[in-house]
Amino acid sequence: MTESVAPSAAPRPLAVAPVAAASPAARAAIEIDDVDFHYGASKALHDITLNIPERQVTAFIGPSGCGKSTLLRCLNRMNDLIDGARVSAGRIRIDGVNIFDPRVDVIELRKRVGMVFQKSNPFPKSIYENITYGLRIQGQKTKARLDEVVEHSLRGAALWDEVKDRLHESALGLSGGQQQRVCIARAIAVEPEIILMDEPCSALDPIATAKVEELIHGLKKQFTIVIVTHNMQQAARCSDRTAFFYLGKLIEYADTRTIFMNPANPQTEAYVSGRFG
Amino acid sequence: MLTLLFRMSATTETPSLARLATREVLLRKRRGWFFGMTGDQFVKYVFQGNAAVSIIVLGLITFTIFKDAVGFIPMNHANLAVYRLAGLEYVDLYREQVTAHSTMSRYLAGIRARQLDILMQKEGLAPAAAMARLAAYDGFANSFADTINEQETLLGTMTDLVTAVKERQTVAQDLAVAKKNLLGAMSGATPERAVELQQQADAIQIEVIDYQAEIKPLLALRPEIAATNASQMTAMKEILGQAPKFADAELNRRMEKFQGFVQGYFNEAAVVAEKMAAWDQTKPVGRLEAFNAFAFGRKWITASFWQDWYGIIPLLTGSLLIAFLALLLALPLGVAAAIYVNQVARPMEQKILKPYIEFIAAIPSVVLGFFGIAMLGETLRRLSQLPALDWVPGFPMAERLNATTAACLLALMAIPTIFSLAEDAINNVPRSFKEASFALGATRLQTIIHIIVPAALSGIMAAMLLGFGRVVGETMVVLLCAGNRIQTPDLSAGLGVIFQPVHTMTGIIAQEMGEVVRNSIHYRALFMVGAVLFLISLLVNWLAQKIVRRYRISIG
């Protein structure tokens, strides 16, 4: 977190993160092959294929209703909770295993693929209980271990110094940005491999947004991050690779620099330059 | 296309009106025919009137109930004053001693039954032979029972004395009421009729009883009481010296216990004698005593030749026992059903289950009560007679209709209330909590236990309270199925207490209100019971509202 990207609170021109572009040789953490997705009778995703590299930030961008959140929620099978929603074709492989295989334990999948939601949603419990929830339901009861994880996770989420004196107060008493970072800390406490972020900053003010973005940059050393965002500047600032979706189709997927500076597809170009969406 | 055509024709065919100036339009507020009110005002007053009617009616009901209820206190005060003045209290003190003695005789009878059991089962004797073997014991028991005869005779004499006084008091009271009614009727009557009424009223002679004088013969018995007590004590000691010894250790133990009882009886007789000596006819009855006799009274005895008692404890405990039992059954069922329907069931199941459970509320309670008498009570009793279930406390059930029978049916009635409210509360838990929990790798059960239920807990508490209110106020089912025995549940039976027949506050009002004389003390006592019910319901609803309000804030 210390080696911050740049003070990113103020809106700036579409600057691309000055970090080295992702090396194409990075191992794919998630392989998405020819995925079709239906909500009841309507088809939300058409034939999506992309590989998400390990320990990088991949951004999904596109106008509302383009299917980017749907795809994200396929990655930890959160769509299972919606009636009538199903993947009708294709595979998503994580570490080589198709997650729609009937033998897959969805509970284990979600322990490995954490998620941060659009609206911060801490449980109506104390900060401490929020962070330890994931471990407790796995049966971890040792106080020392839980304390250690709380500190480690909160430091990881750049929140430790702000809340260390009130760990046992309700998480609902925190500000919006702090709540969202509690949710991130809660997600990293169970030590996942992949963290999915569904528009994590859409409800935050610019300063809180800057903090979360900074955090994302730090987290990618340890985790593979997939982030859905409406904010193109955010995608440009903090992602290594960007996928542009439109009407349920993957239009273009490349290095973030390429997408924003030199897109191959005229639709992408129109979207990133703000002509629609 | 059609609509377009229509629209076009509409615009073209409407004749263009002369447009009024804004100034004129603004001042053209229309007044209606009804007292010059505009339509909006009229509607407003109609609704306001409806709301006001319900508030006024509620206020009137509350006022009436409490007015009649409060009147009970002075009446019960008078009732208790007569109890003391006429000497009934004094006689009841002595009665305690006689009752204690007969308890001992019953204990001896218990020993006899056990002996007979042993003789017939272990030694295999025929009933006649066994009886013969008990002759010596019977002689002992009978001579023991006879030691109370003199006291019983005395008690009879005393009872007759005070009953005569009390009867005269009752007659005097009735006459006073009749006279008051006659005088009251005069105000609206014609002059001739008024004169007639006045004459009738004057003809009524109300006896003024001099209690101090009346009680003298009663108090004159004091030396006699002391003498009989002394002779009884000697007789009992002598008999006790001849107490039989048994071969069986258990029987010997019981006999020893019995000797302990006799010692206790001597002590009690001394205490009673002290109390009787200290008894003071002229000691005034406090107002608080009149209230306490209601609030903490353990007897509800009405229309008795001796003394009427209006104590709410047996009714209150009966009501609460049934309500808690019903809640104990209904709460897990209702909440579990709510969790299932809201969290687990598929939409199709939801569509069927929700209305189905809520439909239970539509069954008339008298039908449920009927079912309870005809089916449930009988089934439960058969079940309780199974030898395999002997270990259950209270089994086999003595009565077919008891607290549990009523509680089962009340639970059924409370389930829809609890279910609907709990389901609402669970539904109000933000979906995002559930998603966050699942995303952390929690199972459905873990999510329900750790996230959903705690978040909905205050709503579930409110559901429980309102369910309790529903159950406490229910009348028909308890009247039909609770057994209607006016007695404080006997806690010495342990858990078996739930199989005792009880009476309830609602039941007693429904049962007795139709038969009481208007404005009599009994009538007022029933209003007191009604007021207590009213207060309980008020408290429960208020608590539930308070909890729900807090819950809304906490979820945000």
Q: d(Cα A225, Cα A223) in Å, to the nearest integer?
A: 6
Give me chain B's average pLDDT, please. 86
CB A214 within 8 A of CB A238: no
CB contact under 8 A, B440 and A117: no
Please name every residue paired with A226 in a beta bridge, in sequence order, or none if there are none. Answer: A58, A196
CB contact under 8 A, B435 and A81: yes
The H or E element spanning position A244 is: strand A241-246
Which pLDDT tens digit goes with each residue over A190-233? 999 999 999 888 888 888 888 889 889 888 888 999 999 988 88
- Tell whether the model's pLDDT for residue B508 goes beyond 80: yes
Q: Which residues of A touch B455 (CB under 8 A)?
A: 123-124
CB contact under 8 A, A123 and B347: no
CB contact under 8 A, A83 and B346: yes
The H or E element spanning position A30 is: strand A28-39
CB contact under 8 A, B455 and A124: yes
Query: What pLDDT, on a 0 to 100 scale, did the predictor assign at position B14?
Result: 59
3-state secondary structure of B208: coil
Query: What pLDDT, on a 0 to 100 scale, did the predictor assign at position A277?
Result: 62
A186 and B CB contact within 8 Å? yes
Q: d(Cα B275, Cα B95) in Å, to the nearest integer?
A: 12
Q: Which residues of A touch B451 (CB under 8 A)?
A: 123
Query: What pLDDT, on a 0 to 100 scale, did the predictor assign at position A25?
Result: 55
CB contact under 8 A, B437 and A133: yes
Please name every residue paired with A93 in a beta bridge, in sequence order, or none if there are none. Answer: A31, A98
CB contact under 8 A, A121 and B438: no
Q: What is the DSSP letter of B23?
A: H
CB contact under 8 A, B440 and A81: no
Token reading at A267? 């639709």
Tokens 């439109």 locate to: A246
Token reading at B504? 């309830």
Pick from B373-382, B413-422, B464-473, B547-556: least confident = B547-556
3-state secondary structure of B277: helix
* Chain A to chain B Cβ contacts (< 8 Å): 70
Which pLDDT tens digit goes with each residue over B220-236? 888 888 888 888 888 88
Please, what is the Cα angle at B91 between B89 and B97, to 5 degrees? Answer: 115
Q: What percent of chain B lies above the pLDDT cut of 70?
A: 95
Q: d(Cα B178, Cα A275) in Å, to the nearest integer?
A: 100
Pick from B430, B439, B454: CB nearest A115: B439
Query: What pLDDT, on a 0 to 100 scale, did the predictor assign at position B529?
Result: 94
Instruction: Give B332→chain A minimum CA distance, Å.
Output: 24
- Tell whether the model's pLDDT for residue A5 goes beyond 70: no
Q: d(Cα B157, Cα B239) in Å, to the nearest integer?
A: 27
pLDDT (mean) for B458-478: 91
Burial class of residue A33 in the structure, from the number of CB atoms within 10 Å of its CB (0-12 exposed, 13-18 middle, 19+ buried):
middle
Query: What pLDDT, on a 0 to 100 scale, did the predictor assign at position A70?
Result: 92
Max CA pair span of chain A = 56
Strands (E), A40-141: 42-53, 57-61, 85-94, 97-98, 113-116
DSSP B294-333: HHS---EE-S-SS--EE--HHHHHHHHHHHHHHHHHHHHH
pLDDT (mean) for A146-151: 92
Query: What pLDDT, on a 0 to 100 scale, did the predictor assign at position B548?
Result: 79
pLDDT band at A11 (very low <50, low <70, confident <90, very high): very low
pLDDT (mean) for A150-157: 89
Query: What pLDDT, on a 0 to 100 scale, did the predictor assign at position A2?
Result: 40
CB contact under 8 A, B432 and A172: no
pLDDT (mean) for B65-90: 90
pLDDT (mean) for B290-306: 89
Query: What pLDDT, on a 0 to 100 scale, did the predictor assign at position B333?
Result: 95
Q: Which residues of A touch B443 (CB under 8 A)?
A: 107, 137
Pick from A124-128, B198-202, B444-448: least confident = B198-202
Q: d(Cα B298, Cα B486) in Å, to the nearest integer?
A: 10
Q: d(Cα A120, Cα A184) in Å, to the nearest integer?
A: 9
Query: What pLDDT, on a 0 to 100 scale, did the predictor assign at position A10?
Result: 42
Pick from A228-237, B77-86, B365-374, B489-498: least confident = B489-498
End-to-end CA distance of chain B: 49
CB A222 within 8 A of CB A41: no
The H or E element spanning position A216 is: helix A206-219
Q: What percent of chain A lies above the pLDDT cut of 70?
A: 90
pLDDT (mean) for B434-442: 92
A141 Cβ contact partners less than 8 Å away, ≥ 6 residues apart = none
Query: What pLDDT, on a 0 to 100 scale, did the predictor assign at position B426?
Result: 92
Tokens 């105000």 locate to: B187
pLDDT band at A276 (very low <50, low <70, confident <90, very high): confident
Q: Which residues of A touch B439 (CB under 8 A)?
A: 76, 78, 110, 114-115, 117, 187
Q: Which residues of A touch B347 (CB under 8 A)?
A: 83
Q: Give the strand pairing for A85-94 and A194-198.
A: unpaired
The H or E element spanning position A34 is: strand A28-39
A238 and B CB contact within 8 Å? no
Q: d(Cα A228, Cα B531) in Å, to the nearest integer?
A: 63
How far are the Cα atoms of A140, A233, B530 from residue A157, in angstroms, in the given order? Answer: 21, 22, 61
- Tell whether the model's pLDDT for residue A18 goes beyond 50: no
- Tell whether the model's pLDDT for residue A8 goes beyond 50: no
Residue A37 phi, psi dihedral angles, 5° rounding: -140, 135
Give me chain A's average pLDDT, please. 86
Q: What is the CB-side half-sphere exposure of residue B418 using CA atoms within 13 A?
A: 29
The dihedral built from the CA positions of residue B47, B51, B54 and B60, taken in this order, carries a sign that is: negative
Which pLDDT tens digit goes with each residue over B346-383? 889 999 999 999 998 899 999 999 988 889 988 888 88
Nearest CA in chain A to B457: A124
Q: Which residues of A touch B432 (CB under 8 A)?
A: 117, 119, 121
Residue B293 phi, psi dihedral angles, 5° rounding: -60, -25
Query: What pLDDT, on a 0 to 100 scale, did the predictor assign at position B13?
Result: 56
Q: d(Cα B323, Cα B303) in Å, to the nearest integer?
A: 29
Query: What pLDDT, on a 0 to 100 scale, did the predictor assign at position B554?
Result: 54
CB A44 within 8 A of CB A71: no
| For chain A, domain boundaries | 28-272
- Tell whether the model's pLDDT for residue B12 goes beyond 60: no
Tokens 């039941």 locate to: B507
CB contact under 8 A, B440 and A107: no
CB contact under 8 A, B433 and A124: yes
A137 and B CB contact within 8 Å? yes
Which pLDDT tens digit goes with each residue over B161-195? 888 888 888 888 888 888 888 888 888 778 888 88
pLDDT (mean) for B97-110: 88
Q: Which residues of B touch A110 (CB under 8 A)?
A: 438-441
Domain A28-272 coded CATH 3.40.50.300:
yes
Q: d(Cα B121, Cα B128) in Å, to the nearest integer?
A: 14
Q: B230, B95, B78: which is closest to B159 by C-alpha?
A: B95
Query: What pLDDT, on a 0 to 100 scale, did the predictor assign at position B442?
Result: 92
pLDDT (mean) for B144-148: 86
Q: d(Cα B40, Cα B374) in Å, to the nearest integer?
A: 56
A51 Cβ contact partners less than 8 Å away, ≥ 6 residues apart = A28, A30, A31, A32
Q: d(Cα B526, Cα B518) in Å, to the nearest integer?
A: 11
pLDDT (mean) for A253-277: 88
Q: Give the strand pairing for A97-98 and A249-255.
A: unpaired
Query: What pLDDT, on a 0 to 100 scale, did the predictor assign at position A273?
Result: 86
Please name every residue paired with B300 in a beta bridge, in sequence order, or none if there are none. Answer: B310
The H or E element spanning position B149 is: helix B149-185
Burial class of residue A237 in the structure, from the number of CB atoms within 10 Å of its CB (0-12 exposed, 13-18 middle, 19+ buried):
buried
Which pLDDT tens digit goes with each residue over B529-552? 999 999 999 999 999 888 877 766
Q: What is the DSSP letter of B449?
A: I
Pick from A78, A122, A124: CB nearest B438: A78
Q: Which residues of A touch B438 (CB under 8 A)?
A: 78, 81, 110
The rounded Cα B239 to chain-centroid distance in angstroms is 45
Token reading at B264? 């206790």
Q: d(Cα B224, Cα B154) in Å, to the nearest integer?
A: 9
Q: d(Cα B318, Cα B489) in Å, to the nearest integer?
A: 7
B interface with A, Cβ–Cβ below 8 Å: 346-347, 430, 432-443, 446, 450-451, 454-455, 554-556
pLDDT band at B553 (very low <50, low <70, confident <90, very high): low
Residue A56 phi, psi dihedral angles, 5° rounding: -135, 170
Q: d(Cα B316, Cα B535) in Å, to the nearest integer?
A: 13
Query: What pLDDT, on a 0 to 100 scale, did the predictor assign at position B552?
Result: 60
What type of residue is A103? R
CB contact under 8 A, B442 and A114: no
Pick from B347, B432, B442: CB nearest A119: B432
Burial of A62-75, coded b for 16+ CB within 10 Å and e otherwise, reads beeebbbbbbbbbb
Q: 0.90 exceeded by the pTM?
A: no
